[in-house]
Structure 1
Amino acid sequence: MAAAHSMDAAQEHSTLPGSVRRRPHVLFVNTRSQLGADVAVHLSIIRHLDPERCQVSLATNRAAEDVDETLRAVEGVKGLRVLLMTMGWEAAYLPPLKRRYLQAAGVLAMGWSLVRLACYVLARGVNVIHSTDRPRDVLLSTVLARLTRRPNVLHMHIKYGPELGRVTEWGVAKATAIIAISDFVKASVVECGFAAEKVHVVHNATDTERFSPERVSPGALRGALGLSADVPLLGIVARLIYWKGHLDLVEALALVRRRIPQAHLAIIGRLDPYSAAFADNVRQKVCELGLEDAVHWVGWSSDPPGVFADLDVVCV
């Protein structure tokens, strides 16, 4: 895919007799090294914004290991301009020397991307800058907003707290507005001393057409696992991190199987070097409880509707 899609000529429309107003122009910033659930939510927002009412640009990390998936997710979006830029590399789980090298290179790359984005914001008339709550996203979007004097919106997908780090704390303090995905997330921001009036709850939405049972043919997941339609199948679709509750779920499965011995569990989520240590902990727990034959490691799935169609219980 080309680095940038052609953008429709800016359309103007009247809001009152005799008045003309340009569409607002939103720049989504994504520095992430992987396409996580939060980024997927933002890509869904981009796909569903009305191009007649809102102009959209997306600056996304060329160095992400799954950048092609990100580009496919927004392919064909009318009027969208995609800016591919190098915004840093994932270095947290690398040996110390290589980690320091990539971190230094990432700072230089992000600095150059910041200059390019600032020029783009001013030249293209961007009105609002939007990013996730992750530190690298927060840093770039906040500095960009302050350089260009544009409003900055941070989208909070997790509970806010000091453990998120000083960069996120600084970004939240400087943000023009914060979108929280739940009342719980909003409360966590407000409880840390930030103004309630700038935190707005917007729940994550679901594309009901894509996930309509009438449009999905079940059986693919169960076929791959060798399970018939009458086998009780639980499943979790999530990143392999502690906070998603995989360990609790495995312990719960052991209790369930005391009453329903034929119950199985499917773990759907990307297996990568960043989650390897936690995945090993989950595997150890599976072995301790004697559940090796009942737990299935599915890995990444590009067909969530098909996965959900085969699950009797979706665990969140």
Structure 2
Amino acid sequence: MKFHSSGLLQPRTIIFLTHSAAWSGAEIALFHLVTHLDKKRWKPIVVVFEDGLLIEKLREAGIKTRLLPLNPAVSELRKEAVGVKNVLQWRQIGIMWRFCHALTRLIQRERAAIVHCNSLKADFLGGIAGKWARVSTIWHVRDRIAPDYLPRPVVFAFPLAMRILGVRAITVSNAVRQTLRLPLALKEQIRVVHDGLPDPDIGVETNTANALMIGMIGRLSPWKGQHVFLEAIAIVREHFPDVRFQIVGAALFGEEEYEREIKAQAESLGLADALQWMGFRADAPQLLHQMNIVVHASTTGEPFGQVIVEAMLAGKPVVATDGGGVPEIVREGQTGLLVPMNDFQALAAAIMWLLQNPAAAQRMGEAGRARALSCFSIQKTAREIEEIYSQLLAR
């Protein structure tokens, strides 16, 4: 243990690494975690590999933040494009080698007790730097390590790198944990900690406008399923012509072409006068209160599903696809409805059932809020991760 000269216990430094500064799922989860750690015990320093909104919000919250730029030749490499040819390019290897040396020096200079990596690129780079600095390293696994979600070279390399680098892992769901192909003894050491969110504390409000509102929140991306949502609401509108719809989110990570495609799709489906494109919004909890039903339509198993928890905290019934970690959040028929992935007809049917049964929808919303407060609070998440830190440092 480390003490101040006053005899009081000195907080241990935890360095958090993330390659992206976008205000998106993994980055939002990181923000909530570092702002809810017990500052008497832990001193978080967030190292971000690019500039952006995350850094601004962290600094506003009083969190020490360091910008360590990663060359775009690596930082802008999309996970979908990763292959043997990409990984073995000498220029990229040289960039990563120099970056890991700089990161190692930063870790040593800050006298870090633990390195906590928050994204795939941060995992590999931080894992190497942590090993060079001889500091315990945690990979916070927010991706399903499966070929339907990541390129096969990454799926192969990830568990191998875990073993070589000797890192510990936290996964955001049991679904993610099950995708890690590791020996049983190592797999049993992996801790599952669901992402928690703060209670927005703005009350559970009901949309009092004349028109009912059905919404979907999340970045615009093919696997998030906005195109499936559009097909579903076209059916809903045939039966409920007065219902209105919102899509909240923007294209990130080079997916602007998908945004153009789905906006053209909405036009062709005749949804222009019933659908609002809200773009990127940082005030999602407030927007949720305009909605009567919240839809999650991912076409590939979602590692977790923070937006579902946000909707439950707002007291809204949820219709969600049943892949990945989503069934760990939604209790079918109690806090929402689950439908098969890529099935717009089933999605439409579930939405219409809730519209036809408003009392049941309200009960699901109330039960969802109670479940979110009990199981997915940020206080619970922070305490569980602090326990992992303590166990790691006690070894």
Question: Which of 33, 44, 50 in structure 2 is aligned with 1:56?
Answer: 44
Q: Look up the equivalent residue of 1:84 and give its one-letter code.
A: L
Alpha-carbon distance change, 190 to 200 in structure 1, aligned in 2, over 3 angstroms = farther
Consecutive unaligned residues of structure 2, counting only runs of 5 or more, are: 79-85, 297-395
Q: Distance in 1 between matches of 2:106 and 2:243?
A: 54
Residue-by-residue CA offset, 1:118-152 (whole Å, 9 max, x unaligned) = 12322332121111242x21221111112112222
The residue number in structure 2 matching 1:267 is: 247
**Is the CA contact (8 Å cut-off) linking 1:213 and 1:309 kept in structure 2?**
no
| 1:34-49 matched pairs, under 5 angstroms | 34-49=22-37
SS at match of 1:270: coil
Alignment of 1:158-307 (within 5 A): 158-162=143-147, 163-164=150-151, 165-166=153-154, 168-173=158-163, 174=165, 176-190=167-181, 195-208=186-199, 211-214=200-203, 229-271=209-251, 274-307=254-287
2:71 maps to 88
| Greater relative contact order (Cα < 8 A, sep 6+) | 2
Instruction: Tell me, in whole angstroms, the C-alpha distance in 1 between the residues paired with 2:288 and 2:31.
Output: 21
SS in 1 for 2:44: strand
The aligned amino acid for 1:46 is V
Aligned position for 1:155: 140
1:105 CA displacement: 8.0
Which of 57, 73, 96 aligns to 1:73? It is 57
Pairs within 5 Å for 1:62-141: 62=50, 64=51, 67=52, 69-77=53-61, 80-89=63-72, 91=76, 111-134=97-120, 136-141=121-126
2:103 & 2:91 partners in 1: Cα distance? 18
Query: Secondary structure at 1:290's aligned position in 2?
Result: coil
- Classify 1:38/1:253 alpha carbon distance in 2 versus 1 (closer, same or farther; 3 Å): same
Q: Distance in 1 between matches of 2:237 and 2:131?
A: 55
Q: Distance in 2 between matches of 1:188 and 1:171?
A: 15
Q: Is the 8 A contact 2:16 2:118 kept in 1?
A: no
- How does the TM-score come out when normalised to structure 1? 0.76
> SS at the partner of 1:195?
helix
Question: How far is the alpha carbon of 1:37 from its aligned partner?
Answer: 1.2
Work out the CA distance in 1 between the residues paired with 2:192 and 2:252.
32
For the structure 1 residues 218 and 192, does the alpha-carbon distance in structure 2 shift closer, same or farther, using more than 3 Å as the test? farther
Deviation per CA, 1:64-115: give whole Å up to 9, x if none: 3xx2x2123212545x43211111335458xxxxxx9xx9887666544433
Aligned pair in 2 of structure 1 residues 179, 262: CA closer, same or farther (>3 Å)?
same
Task: Summarize the Cα distance change of 1:205–1:172 in structure 2 as closer, same or farther, 3 Å threshold.
Answer: same
Normalised TM-score (structure 2): 0.62
CA contact (8 A) 2:59 2:65 kept: no
Separation of aligned partners in 1, 2:3 and 2:57:
25
What amino acid sits opposite 1:252 in the alignment? A
Secondary structure (helix, strand or coil) at the match of 2:255 reads helix
Q: More deviation in 39-48 or 277-286? A: 277-286
CA distance 1:117–1:272, shift in 2 (3 Å)? closer
- 1:38-81 Cα offsets, whole Å, 9 max, x none, are 0111111111111101121111124x3xx2x2123212545x43
Identity of aligned residues (%): 17
What is the distance in 1 between the residues matched to 2:253 and 2:130? 33
Alpha-carbon spacing, 1:274–1:111, altered in 2? closer, same or farther (3 Å): same
- What is the rounded CA distance, in whole Å, between the counterparts of 1:87 and 1:114 in structure 2? 10
The answer for the alignment partner of 1:225 in structure 2 is none
Q: Distance in 2 between matches of 1:235 and 1:177?
A: 38
Q: Distance in 1 between matches of 2:58 and 2:206?
A: 26
User: What runs of 5+ residues in structure 1 fail to find an aligned partner?
Assistant: 1-9, 94-99, 220-227
User: What displacement does 1:169 show?
Assistant: 4.5
